[in-house]
Every structure is written in structure tokens, then in C-alpha cells.
Chains A and B, each alone.
Chain A
């Protein structure tokens, strides 16, 4: 049998099973086997606590709306054509059955699924309004998601924050895994191997008792809370710690919640009281030691190495008033099968320190990601004759077939009420075909004089015309009342009449280049993620001399205190670096050849990871040098 009983891990899972507010777990760096063991154990615990059956669903990178929320499926029935609603992963078609949602790779979760998770995780109510179906229910969902620790920063905070618990994943020791496989292949079992019970009977008893028990709660223990989490942290983290402390008290069958329960709960999360939020556990993360066992033999009583966290944990558990402790519940031959896990680290600190790679407004309506399809997935704007059985418009199909039913039934021995359809009746949704390319032109009006920038920009406008790209023009340093801010204009195509005036130079007195690049960043993110048909790639063209003299803060507040020094340029470069990391974005810097600080456009080009083209003076329009 793989793994070892690990009381820290089992207590965390038991707490999640007991407290609905804790049923969302983010697991960092788990192996697939570890993740599966976590999920299986949690399912069994949930079944014990809730008295309900538990179903497992997987949600991943290809999960789309139909999979998640359900869809109508036509099929032949006894009474003719029937439309059967196929429930989705996130809707719960059966009352009194909980559901465990397993996300094997959170950073790569489809945006549709991320939005669904945001809507349902921790929510008191779920709503379904799709294709004629209207339903509301009280979600009974438990979420377990795996995430590489190096990528936790890429998960939108709005989603990440909803996970109540975090734990560091572990691996099943290879030697024990091999033992388990050896035993399985040699076992004389029928093909459908029944799942052997994982939870020891003592633990089941503990859970059932805890499910009926609610301890008293005084204000004293709450004072301890703030030693582990500073007041500035989000309320959800404090709530998670508090609920975990409550779960500890319930598991111990304690009369009331005590500071020791808070301490134990903090240790389960790897938090220490020093400096408000604990630093990572001293020393490297270690796995619990493997027991000395031989193949085929019952596992020996596990021997745990003393770790820095063991003693405080034990002191909270060896409550004299309680005859059963979680640790004792595991000290039996039929120990719970859980893989070893590293001792807790301060996962919150790790998460907060993770480099941010996520994109702003990342949860805006999806699309370019998810299931690849050659078919456009824009909004439905009508119907058309169907050429396949996908994306059928059912109601339109029935309406089209309705006038012919009487004559068809006369000529066909059909049961009353049966619908008789022909292929010609089938209608499919007709969807928008949105532009797949986006051009973002950032035009610094203060540096255009004397350069033939129009010729350089014309090349890119031609590209936008050929590619039917949508266009965003951002004017930097435009004369006007709000010259500390850049201006932004969106048009659907090159032929839009507003485009011409936006390209007429109107130099102002300031150059808010940083703000212009922020607007560009937002436009690119928005254009490549928003709507049912997002752009697949974008092109950024920056016409500038690099001398942005307005700090970003000044653009946002509308005022600044001089001197600003290089703050404006540094702000702009910082945004340029972020743009440089954007996927499917190609960048061009059109260098107007400033006399002062001539190196700046090249610096911006490097930050953007783009190509720099030097625009020579207007009288020498032939000379456009590629650098």
C-alpha cells in the first residue's frame, strides 16, 4: 500500500469535509498520484460527513460552456423526438449528492471554467439560464485544484483568493508505489475492482461524531488569530484559519474552541506567530519517513520522525479530556492510505511572493483558449441551414418543421405527437465572425514634427486592412484639457471615419507615454480575451522618441509635483516590459530619431522585444532603416 498515514494531511482533509466553507483546496506541486489520493480520501470523508454520495468530475483546459453548464441533446424517444438536457459538470442534477470538482492543472484551466469557478466557489446559490433551462440550486461542490508553485502567480487573484485551503503536494514513494502495483497485478480480482475502503473505522467514527458536534465559541481565541495573519490580509484567509480552528475543535470533540485550536490550525497552514504572518518553516520540506515493510505484509505501525512542528501539534491533540485523538486514530494496522506530504510551509507567503504572470482582466469573457475549433464562436446572430449535427438551433428547427407536420403525418405511420424531421429542417446557429487580428497604434504627437512617420505607419495600416484587423489608436501628448493622459479610440476596421482625425498630429505640452502604454496593454488584453470571438494575435506599433515625461501616477490623478526626473520614462519602460511578455503580440517601434537621448527608442524596443525602425526626416522619405 503506498504512502504513509500523515496526520497533518488527513486532518486538513477532514476539516474540509466537515466545514462547507473549507471545501476548496489548492494543492501546490502535487504528483498525479498524490492528487488522486487526496481526491479519493476527501470523497470518502465527504460521504461520511454529509451522508451523501459523492461524484467526481474533472474540469480542465478544454472545458467549454456546454460541458460545464449542460446542453440540450435531441434523441429519439418512445414518443418521438425528445430533447434531453445533458447536465454539466458544475450543475448538480441529483439532489442529495455532493460533487468533487478536480482541476488537474489550474493555470491551464479554460477561461470558461475559471469564470464558472468564480461564480460557484463558496457561493450560496447556483444559477443556470441556458437554452430554455432555468434552474437554481444550493451548490454542494468541493473543489480540489493542482497548481505548480512557479505558476501560482498566473492564476487570476479573483479566482485564487476563493480557495480556502492550501497545501503542498507530495509524491508517492516509488518503492511503495511499486509494491502496490505488484500486489494489484498479482491479485485475482474481477476486472471491475471494487474500491477498498480507505478510511480506518476509527476515523469514520471520529468524523461522524464531529459532524454532529458544534463547540462553543468565545472571543478569547479570536485574539490569537491576528498573531498569524495581519489585519491587512484579505478576510477570506482569516475566515479559513478560523474555520480550520473550529474544525479542529469539532474533531477533538472539544467543548469549546481554544487558542490551542487556532495554533494547530495555523500550523496546518504552515503559519507561525512571529511577525504576524509566519515565515516558511525552518529547514527544507521533508516527507514523513517510509515505514519498514515488506511486500505483501501489513504495514507496520508507522514511525514518525520528530519535526519542528510535531510537538506543538501533539500538544494540541493529546487533550486529556478526549480519549481519541486523530493521531491515535491512525495508529492501527488498517491505516489510512495517504501519501507522504511535506510538512506545511507558509503557503500564503509563497503565493504572495510568486511572480505575477497573469494578465489583467484575465477573467473577461474567454475564447481564443479552450477547445480549438475552426468554426467561429462569435455571438449567435441568426440561424442558417445546418450542415452537421453540431451547434443546432433546436427551436428554429422545430419552427421550420412545424408547418409540414400535418402533411407528413398523413403520409407516415407515425404516433400522434411525433415530430417528423427531414435534414432540410435542421437549422444551426449563425455566429459572428469577429476580427482575428488587432492593431494597436500608439502615436506620440509630441515627436512627429519633421519626420515621415505617415509612410512608416501606412505599412501597418495596410496590414490591418489586408487582415481585416480591428484597430485601436492611442494618442499620447495630444493637445487638450487633459494632456496628462493619453486618449484611446477603438474602430472595427480601417474604413471607420473616426480613424482619419485620430491620425492628425496635435502636439501638446506633455508626453504621458506610460499612460499610453497602459492603455495599449489593456486594449491588447481586452481584444485578445474579451468576447466570444477574440483576436488571435495583435500588433503593437509605437511611434515615439521615448521621452515620456509624465509619471503614471500623474496621469491617474491628474496632477503631479515636480520635479519628476526620469519617473515617466521608468514607468513607461516597466509597462513595456509587461507588453514584451505578452504572447501572440508582435511589436514595432518607429524611432523618430530624437537628438536628445537618441538611445531611448532602442531601449523601448528591447523592452518590448520588438523591431525598431528608424524614421528619417520627411525630406528623405526613401530612407527607412531597419535596425
Chain B
């Protein structure tokens, strides 16, 4: 990825609002076993901006991106064609291998080709990348955080792919439009100054704040397994999954894992109902039976009330 493209990304700390998007991404980083984050929202709500900014903060560059023009050889791996022509068989790792331990980002994930979706499903369900094509015979364990952004107007995801995303956030248009406009214009100005070879304080201060946040998240990740998860909390996770008729078998596991990660981020020694309360909608909204029927995620005020009732029960 060219450095130029990475420099066009707004610092993560400068992204206006989006608290739940940030929370989901941070949870997935602190607890990589969660697997994936799906961000759904109308056009122009800064979904892609937030993901790219997050990746740049953590990894110093843009995320490994699966574009809509991707062919299978670039997704799973193949041969370097130029080397092959020189009679040098040099395997070329695909995007899935490049994303090991990091983020594999799919923008407009609901527009992805079925064939590529099937590959992703296979890999994320087994945790193994098997390459049997063009004379290659390889398999390797892989683990990455699948992050997808989408506009639900263009269609929803197949249930199998939906299930691979541990957490889902539904983004509404930010209320603080003025702050968004100010931020975008300020960043435009920063880009202008960068083009003239001048340093810009807006970006510099943002990068400093990003560095601080990165360290906080790294420390949270290190203390993740020291956070206690009481059995009572786990029971509540199971009950929530049952009461909301969550599809699949991962909802309760995801809730427990996410609550633990949330406690780790907040530097708490134990995951509590408060932590669980924060993550339940993200874990359940796309696992409701109604989702495939109505073609969008579902979470209402009644659902919140029902969740509260379960959390407060003995």
C-alpha cells in the first residue's frame, strides 16, 4: 500500500462520534477470538473512515483490504506470475494470509461475490486455509479479525456470513453534524498543507492521541485473561441467547467474551452486568430470527427492556 494512501486517513482520535463502532473494533482487537465486526449504516456515515483510522492507529497503515475486484488467487494465494515465467516457482500469499493476526477489511461486504464469500466462510469456520489450486497444496491455520462495512439499502448478508461476524453495529447519522463538517474541513486543510510539505498540528496532535490509545488497548489485550468472568454472568449470557432466540450457537459465547474484553478495556478485574449490558445489542441484533425476513438487523426499545429484565434477574 502506498504511503500516500495511508496518509490520507484521518487520525482515529479525530473521528467524530461513532462510539459503538469504536467500541466494537476495540473489543475485537482486545479479544481476537471474537472473530469479526460488521458495521452497517446509511451512506455518508463514516463507516469506512472509522475502520481505516483504527487500522492505521494499530498497525501503522491501511488494513489488508479485500476489494470487490479480487480474484480467487489473490484471496487464497497462488503463484507469482512474473517469477513463474522465469521458471522460478514462487508462491504468492493471498490476502487471507496477509491478514493473519490483523484485520481483513471488506468494504461493501454485502456486494461481495458469492464465490469469494464461500471462501471466507470456509476459512473462518475451520480456522484453516486450504489451498489446492494450480499445483499448490498448502494448508495453514489462520486467524484474523474480519471487519465488514455495508449499506443495508443494497441488501443484507447471507445468514452463514452474518454469523461469522461476532458483533454488529448499526450506525445512524451522527447528530453532531457541525463537528463532523469542521473535522472534515480541518482535515482537508491538513492535506493541503501536507501537499506543500508543511506539518499540520491537527494531524500531529491526532497521531499523538492515537499512540496513547494504542498503548491502552495493547495493555487491555495483555490483561484480558486476568479478568474474571463470574458464572452468574455466563448464565445470563445463555439465558439472553435463549430468550432472544438467537440464531446459531455463538451468541452466548460472544457475549461473554465481549463483556470480558470490555472489562479489560476499562481496567476492571471482573466482568459485570454493566459490561454485559453494553455488548448485548452488538452480539444479538444480527442473530434475531427476524433478520432474514425483514432484511435488516433488529433491536428495539422493547428488546432493551427485555434485556434489562434478564440482567436484573437472579
Residues of A participating in the B interface, judged by any CB pair closer than 8 Å: 19-21, 65, 68-69, 72, 80-83, 115-116, 118-119, 123-134, 136-138, 156-158, 161-162, 212, 214, 217, 219, 222, 225, 231, 234-236, 238-239, 242-243, 246, 360-365, 379-380, 394-396, 398-399, 402, 405, 417, 419, 482, 485-486, 488, 515, 519, 522, 526, 530-532, 555-558
Contact = CB atoms under 8 A, between A and B. Distances in A.
Of A137, A363, A402, A531, which is in contact with the most chain B CB atoms at under 10 Å from its CB?
Answer: A363
Contacts of A557: 300
B159 to A, nearest CB: 11
A39 B86 CA distance: 44
Interface stretch (B25-33, B175-183, B219-227, B251-259): B175-183
Contact of B68 (A19, A115, A417, A532): A115
Contacts of B289: 482
Given A125-B1, A395-B78, A238 B181 contact: yes
B44 interface: yes
Nearest to A83: B81
A53 B92 CA distance: 34
Interface stretch (B228-236, B260-268, B274-282, B290-298): B290-298
Contacts of A126: 5, 67
B293 A360 contact: no
A234 B172 CA distance: 11
A158 B66 CA distance: 19
A82 B84 CA distance: 10
Nearest to B8: A124
B74 A134 contact: yes
A72 B45 contact: no
Nearest to A234: B44
A222 B178 contact: yes
A39 B114 CA distance: 37
Contacts of B114: 365, 379, 530-532
A267 B154 CA distance: 33
A363 B48 CA distance: 18
Instruction: Please classify the interface of chain A as helix (H, G, I), strand (E, B), loop, or mixed, using the class held by over half of its residues.
Output: mixed
A118 B67 CA distance: 11
Interface in B50-87: 52, 62, 65-75, 78-82, 84-87
A234 B81 contact: no
A387 B237 CA distance: 59
Given A129-B69, A242-B181, A379-B115, 17 more contacts: A65-B69, A83-B85, A116-B68, A118-B111, A129-B66, A134-B92, A231-B177, A235-B44, A236-B43, A238-B177, A365-B114, A394-B81, A402-B87, A530-B114, A531-B113, A532-B115, A557-B300
B84 A127 contact: no
B8 to A, nearest CB: 4
20 contacts: A65-B69, A83-B81, A126-B5, A127-B65, A132-B92, A136-B62, A157-B153, A161-B43, A212-B196, A214-B193, A217-B185, A231-B177, A235-B173, A242-B185, A243-B185, A361-B110, A363-B111, A379-B114, A419-B87, A482-B293
Contact of A132 (B2, B78, B188, B292): B78
Given A83-B81, A130-B74, A125 B52 contact: yes
B259 to A, nearest CB: 27
Interface string B95-132: 10000000000011011111100000000000000000
A401 to B, nearest CB: 11
| Chain B interface residue number, banded | 35 or more
B232 to A, nearest CB: 30
B66 to A, nearest CB: 7
Nearest to A558: B290
B201 interface: no
Nearest to A380: B72
B165 to A, nearest CB: 18
B71 A365 contact: no
B84 A395 contact: yes
A364 B44 contact: no
Given A132-B79, A246-B185, A361-B155, A532 B113 contact: yes
A214 B191 CA distance: 11
Contacts of B300: 557
Q: Which among A19, A133, A530 has the greatest number of chain B C-beta atoms within 10 A?
A: A133
Contact of B73 (A124, A131, A239, A515): A131
Given A398-B84, A522-B295, A364 B154 contact: yes
Contact of A235 (B86, B153, B177, B189): B177
Contacts of B112: 365
Among B85, B86, B107, B193: residue with most chain A CB under 10 A? B85
B135 interface: yes
Contact of A158 (B69, B113, B154): B154
A182 B173 CA distance: 55
A519 B181 contact: no
B146 to A, nearest CB: 16
Closest 3 A-B residue pairs measured CB to CB?
A: A361-B155, A136-B1, A124-B8
A522 B181 CA distance: 36
Nearest to A363: B154
Given A130-B70, A132-B78, A217-B185, A405 B87 contact: yes
B108 A119 contact: yes
A364 B111 CA distance: 5
A83 B9 CA distance: 34
B154 to A, nearest CB: 5
Contacts of A162: 43
Contacts of A485: 290, 293-294
Given A21-B188, A124-B52, A132-B74, A379 B113 contact: yes
A396 B134 contact: yes
B197 to A, nearest CB: 12
B184 interface: yes
A236 B75 CA distance: 32
A400 to B, nearest CB: 10
A561 to B, nearest CB: 14
Contacts of A80: 85
A399 B65 CA distance: 29
Nearest to B154: A363
A116 B107 CA distance: 12
A222 B181 contact: yes
B151 interface: yes
B4 interface: yes
A196 to B, nearest CB: 30
B299 interface: no
Contacts of A65: 69
A557 B73 CA distance: 43
A399 B81 contact: no
Contact of B69 (A68, A402, A419, A558): A68
Contacts of B5: 124-126, 136-138
B183 to A, nearest CB: 11
A61 B210 CA distance: 44
B65 A125 contact: yes
A385 B19 CA distance: 55
A234 B180 CA distance: 12
Contacts of A395: 73, 78-79, 81, 84, 134
Contacts of B95: 129
B73 to A, nearest CB: 6
Nearest to B189: A214
A231 B181 CA distance: 12
Nearest to A381: B115
A19 B184 CA distance: 12
Nearest to B175: A231
Given A225-B181, A365-B113, A395-B81, A119 B107 contact: yes
Nearest to A215: B189
Contact of A131 (B52, B81, B135): B81
